[in-house]
Amino acid sequence: MANPQSRQIAIVIAEKNPLLQSSLVKLFAGDDRFHVAAVASDGEKFLETVEKTPFDVGVIGWEMPYLDGRGVLQALRGRVDAPRLIVYTGSPNPDVPRQAMTLGAAGFCSKREPPEQLQDTIIAVAAGRMVFPFIDVSSLASDPLAGLTPRERELLAALASGLTNQQMASQLDISLNTVKFHLKNLYDKLGVGNRAQAVAFYLKGHEGR
């Protein structure tokens, strides 16, 4: 009878850089502990993969087009069937691990670490552990506006200008559903329930600037 621990860990990689994508696929292809179920080039494609492909651990970038690591974590937060997520980034921002933990990530690994560190992090996270560098937990509260993606900032400014969802979709050349998706994340991050409250939050945040 096979040892249950010998089952391959199914992973999905979300990475914007095609060269790093292929390097990671090769890294895992040469190690029978892992199976790469899919690769996505951005956060929106990663979420589409979550809906149609079962897997154990997602390795996601922090800075990705259309929907970044924050947005992915926000979208999957609280879902009982969500895969465990590791943020894998070269971002020099020392606050990223704290933000990732606050948003529900299971692990963090810097691209400056050797590849074996990422493999070890995946194995630990798949086994139910959390893997993060030291984080000062006294700083876990932060400015919600600082946690917005560039797309969410665009939408918030558009809301403040009085644009409708349809007008925003046309202006940004994205679908109406994508606008609604980003707005839901935006409201969740700001802790508001509708566009009027979001606009009030935006205007308050710009008063002292």
Instruction: Tell me the per-residue pLDDT of 145-166, one tens digit each, with 9 for 90 and over.
Output: 766 778 888 888 888 888 999 9
Mean pLDDT of the chain: 86
Indicate yes or no: pTM above 0.85.
Answer: no
- Residue 107: predicted pLDDT: 96
Is residue 145 assigned to a domain?
no
69 sits in which H/E element: helix 69-76
**106 and 202 part of one domain:** no
User: In this structure, are residues 204 and 160 in contact, taking their beta carbons and an 8 Å threshold?
Assistant: no
For 76-120, the pLDDT digits (tens) are: 988 888 999 999 999 877 788 988 998 899 999 999 999 999 999
Length of the chain counted residue by residue: 209
**169 and 105 part of one domain:** no
Q: Is the pLDDT of residue 14 over 90?
A: yes
- Residue 4: predicted pLDDT: 44
Q: First vs last Cα of the chain: how many Å apart?
A: 66
- Residue 138: predicted pLDDT: 55
CA distance 25 to 178: 29
Of 116, 138, 160, which closes a domain?
138
| Structural domain that includes position 96 | 9-138
Q: Is the pLDDT of residue 40 over 80?
A: yes
Q: Is the pLDDT of residue 52 over 70?
A: yes
Is residue 39 assigned to a domain?
yes
User: Residue 50's CB: how many other CB atoms inside 10 A?
Assistant: 23
CA distance 165 to 47: 21
Q: Which residues of 71-89 are buried (b: 16+ CB within 10 A; e: fewer)?
A: bbbbbbeeeeeebbbbbbb
**115 and 169 part of one domain:** no
